[in-house]
Amino acid sequence: MEQVLFLITIFLALYSGRCSDVYSRNDFPEGFVFGSALSAFQWEGAVDEDGKMPSIWDTFVHSNAGPTRDIACDGYHRYKEDVRLMYDMGLDAFRLSISWSRLVPSGRGPVNPKGLRFYKNLINEFRRHENELSLFWFSAWHERGSTGIEPHVTLYHNDLPQALEDEYGGWIDRKIIDDFTAFADVCFREFGKEVKFWSTINEPNMLAMGGYDWGFVPPVHCSPPFGMVNCSRGNSSTEPYIALHNMLLAHASTMRLYKQKYKDKQNGSLGITCFAYWMVPLTSSEENKIATQRAKDFYLGWVLHPLVFGDYPDVMKRIVGKRLPSFSKEESDLVKDSFDFLGVIHYTTMYIAHLSHSHHEDYVSDMSVLMSPFGNSTLVKFDVLPWGLEGVLEYIKHNYGNPPVYILENGRPTNHHSSLNDMGRVEYLHAYIAAVLKSVRNGSETRGYFQWSFMDLYEFVNYNYTYGLYHVDFSDPERQRSPKTSAFCKIEKFDPVWFPFRVGFLIQREGGYEVLYQIFSSFRPFWKKQYAADHAEASKVFHSLKAFHQWIVLQF
């Protein structure tokens, strides 16, 4: 009874203090999903436990002097707690990845039984709570359908088994196509009963550029003068194009396998995920307009053109020439239409200016553009530019046949040691979700939005800037999770009517009235018409509410 009374108290207090009244869950089409995301190598930890072998990210991290992700968020041991937090938040879906070197440690051959058990347990955990709270949350869960959390699984999130990199160079050798397809076969066979949404490869365009041209992410391939680091191997003129070409063929081979063996039985969907800046001309000059379209072709068209039309954009073929691999007729047919949906990763918008063509030959030089962040954005601080996401979705709609799209990453980093009151992130997320709604109303087949990331993770090769809705104390051996303001406000966006009830439940789980005070303080801008904006007045409201709740309990 006390728990229910507590929830009623929170409801009365917060009903007029919602984060925003711009839109609600009901404004989105039926079936539209809201989720969040993590990746295996950033979240799991347990880097050498239970048969896991090194990935290229493990090797990369240990070769540098900075912090490692050997423990990370310790999700390998704390996944039940984390899934519970996701469920309490009311997520429809959750995007995760499978560590290839945990499931198939050598990249091919025997499956690691302990790795297999971990991923089966994790995926099953998303379904385990499906009926647990249907009565507690009254009719809200009945109306939405109590089906648990829908897992969206990424097969490859940039963590190639080191064994395959050592053996033949990973993505620059066509042997990877068969090895990746075999790995996918294991995943479909073992997890396909519960997983209905698969993404093959995470942002191949960014991986090819970062890993094989500039060399700032694993496997750190580059050649002078292009590398951002001193690479020990690589060819920046050719390897980015070879690596992405093999990723597309591996993706298409995986889709063929899925259609032949699993799709009819498992009723799932398979796609690929593309990194997508929006790009605008720095000035209105014709040169800059042409350069902007060229940059879109090199970034988006590099992946999407083969998937939709069976070949690379003409501008890439003209500029790159023989350094750009070509598709045979059979390969073109295999790659074309080899997706059920496209995953989009978008964070910010870039200015584009024309550069005269350089005598250098690498992927970045081939574009012949100067790219700079829009407005006051930097690599780790993003302005709120929701029209950029609208631009990406409109561009895909008009140029690539308006396929089904899921926004699989979108978020805003903040300094990891900043306040839990992350209203800047709240502003960003609400604006970008509103942009998605606008695009949907304009005819885009966008079907879901996944915020990055559910909790603070290893980002930018350290823990300095993070995206999480939950703060993780990486100095604490227990890796304590603490909700930020964005965790509560995001719930409201997902289910505004029942938001106060969910908040009440989370408050009791996450630390009682101290968390309640944090929430009231963060809501101040939205209910300052009802309450004075100063801290002292907010404190009075908080203590009055606490006393009121205690009085109600005594009456019963």
What's the CATH number where 133 sits? Answer: 3.20.20.80
What average pLDDT does the segment 143-164 reach? Answer: 86
Two tokens, residue 538: 């907010």
Which residues constitute the domain of residue 43? 33-374+399-423+447-494
Residue 43 belongs to some domain of the structure? yes
Q: Which of 280, 445, 428, 289 is nearest to 347 (CA)?
A: 428
- Catalytic-residue membership of 330: no
H or E stretch at 258: helix 239-261
Beta strands in 231-288 (DSSP E): 269-275, 278-281
In the chain, count H helices and then E strands.
23, 15
Quote the CA–CA distance of 352 and 394 in Å, as a whole number: 19
Contact 37, 432 (CB under 8 A): no
- Catalytic-residue membership of 44: no
What average pLDDT does the segment 481-510 reach? Answer: 59
Q: Which of 203, 198, 202, 304 is nearest to 255 (CA)?
A: 198
Residue 87 belongs to some domain of the structure? yes
| Phi and psi based region of residue 220 (left: phi greater than 0; alpha: psi -120 to 50; beta: remaining) | left
Burial 144-176 (b: 16+ CB within 10 A, else e): bebebbbbbbbbbbbbbbbbbbeeebbbbbebb
Residue 30 CA: distances (Å) to CA of 73, 343, 451, 506: 34, 19, 19, 27
H or E stretch at 415: strand 414-415
Residue 78 belongs to some domain of the structure? yes
Phi first, then psi: what are they for 384, rounded to 5°? -85, 100
In this structure, the number of other CB atoms found within 10 A of the CB of residue 286 comes to: 10
- Three-state SS for 532-555 is CCCHHHHHHHHHHHHHHHHHHHHH
Confidence of residue 200 (pLDDT cuts 50, 70, 90): very high
Catalytic residue among 44, 125, 165, 203: 203
What average pLDDT does the segment 211-224 reach? Answer: 95
Residue 539 CA: distances (Å) to CA of 489, 528, 546: 20, 13, 11
Contact 370, 411 (CB under 8 A): no
* Lowest mean pLDDT segment, chosen from 82-86, 274-278, 485-489: 485-489
In this structure, the number of other CB atoms found within 10 A of the CB of residue 522 comes to: 21
User: For residue 469, what are the contacts with CB-CB under 8 A and spacing of at least 6?
Assistant: 36, 89, 451, 453, 454, 455, 483, 484, 486, 487, 490
Q: Which of 80, 75, 78 is nearest to 98 (CA)?
A: 75
* Lowest mean pLDDT segment, chosen from 129-133, 216-220, 411-415, 483-487: 129-133
What is the model's pLDDT at position 65? Answer: 66
Query: How many distinct structural domains can be found in the chain?
Result: 1
pLDDT digits (tens, 9 = 90+) for 413-471: 887 888 888 899 999 999 999 999 999 999 999 999 999 989 998 887 667 788 899 99
Pairing relationship of beta strands 465-466 and 414-415 according to DSSP bridges: antiparallel
Residue 515 belongs to some domain of the structure? no
Residue 556 belongs to some domain of the structure? no
Quote the CA–CA distance of 300 and 391 in Å, as a whole number: 13
pLDDT at 242 over 60: yes
pLDDT digits (tens, 9 = 90+) for 329-356: 999 999 999 999 999 999 999 999 999 8
Residue 306 belongs to some domain of the structure? yes
Query: Half-sphere exposure (CA, 13 Å, Cβ side) for 531?
Result: 23
What is the model's pLDDT at position 99? Answer: 99
User: The pTM is what?
Assistant: 0.86
Residue 61 belongs to some domain of the structure? yes
Catalytic residue among 150, 165, 409, 492: 409
pLDDT at 76 over 50: yes
Beta strands in 163-255 (DSSP E): 197-201
Residue 370 belongs to some domain of the structure? yes
